[in-house]
Structure 1
């Protein structure tokens, strides 16, 4: 299973290679729909394990959001590095920066992203927001979300069940 940050970096790379502007808002929705693609076409297998939260503008993977928030609402222009702490070290300063390598995703994982990008890569971010808001998984918690309740999570079984019926 991939890490959400690696999937996000692959989405950014696909956007840059295909001249699709991708800001953090759009990135979050493309991550979500890549997860949908994985769940529905890989027999319920998740693309990444990180939680997907219900925010006012739809699904968000918080760890990924924070990595890319420095771009604000502007298009993301590069992938981000991650920090790898040495597991067996007592030294908190024993870490390395790791540049994104698309080989960190296997072929099936990359295919989920590519399929998602083929259908939604050029979509307007607010169209993607509207799509997610129309889905029952977000809509059922709309009042809580609008009132500011935090850390409401998507249930992957609900996602799978909903999209299999479509």
Structure 2
């Protein structure tokens, strides 16, 4: 399992290489989606950080704390933790595939995707409740079903 900041920095690198910009909401959702797809395909988590059900979807608090200063604007620098050697080839491959598919969507569009009925967020979130952890089992099962449907 990797630190979510290392995965996020790899996403930022991919975006930079393509001339794209990424907002905090996009980065949070893309990191979460990469974690989910990795779990669904590989049967193990990509990140070690807990994911919580917040009003606007799944959030990784540790990552959020690092990028919240950008608010709704583009993230202009890597997170100080940057350790590109931390992701192995399989991890980079899935993260890249996630970015290829989902990187074109805005933060609100990605948030809507993660709010879908039956999603781990949908099954965990309660209005007014803050910081409810989304079960790893829910994430794994949800993305395993998605992976099976696309196979």
Structure that is richer in helix per residue? 2
Residue 25 of structure 2 corresponds to which residue in structure 1? 25
Q: What whole-Å deviation, never above 9, does each CA across 1:79-128 have from its counterpart, x for those lacking one?
A: 0213xxxxxxxxxxxxxxxxx23112111111121010010011121111
* Map of 1:92 onto structure 2: none
Matched, 1:68 2:48: no
Q: Distance in 2 between matches of 1:34 and 1:62?
A: 16
| Partner residue in 2 for 1:34 | 34
Q: Relative to 1, partners in 2 of residues 1:50 and 1:135: Cα closer, same or farther, differing over 3 Å?
A: farther
Which is further off, 15-24 or 56-65?
15-24
Counterpart CA distance in 2 for 1:104 and 1:160 is: 22
- After the TM superposition, list the runs of 4 or more consecutive aligned residues in structure 1 that deviate by more than 4 angstroms: none
Deviation at 1:135, TM superposition (A): 4.0
- The yes-or-no answer on 1:129 pairing with 2:128 is no
* CA distance in structure 2 between the partners assigned to 1:155 and 1:11 by the alignment: 24
Q: Distance in 2 between matches of 1:66 and 1:29?
A: 14
- Structure 2, unmatched stretches of 5+, are 147-151
Query: Residue in 1 aligned with 2:134?
Result: 154
Larger Cα-atom Rg: 1
CA RMSD of aligned residues (A): 1.4
Instruction: State the TM-score, normalized to the length of structure 1.
Output: 0.81
SS of alignment partner, residue 138 of structure 2 = helix
**In the alignment, what sits opposite 1:16?**
16
SS class of match (2:38): helix
Q: CA deviation at 1:19?
A: 2.3
- Bigger drift between 132-141 and 104-113 goes to 132-141
Pairwise CA distance, 1:12: 1.1
Give the unaligned 5+ runs of structure 1. Answer: 83-99
> Is 1:138 aligned to 2:118, yes or no?
no
Q: Bigger CA drift: 153-162 or 120-129?
A: 153-162
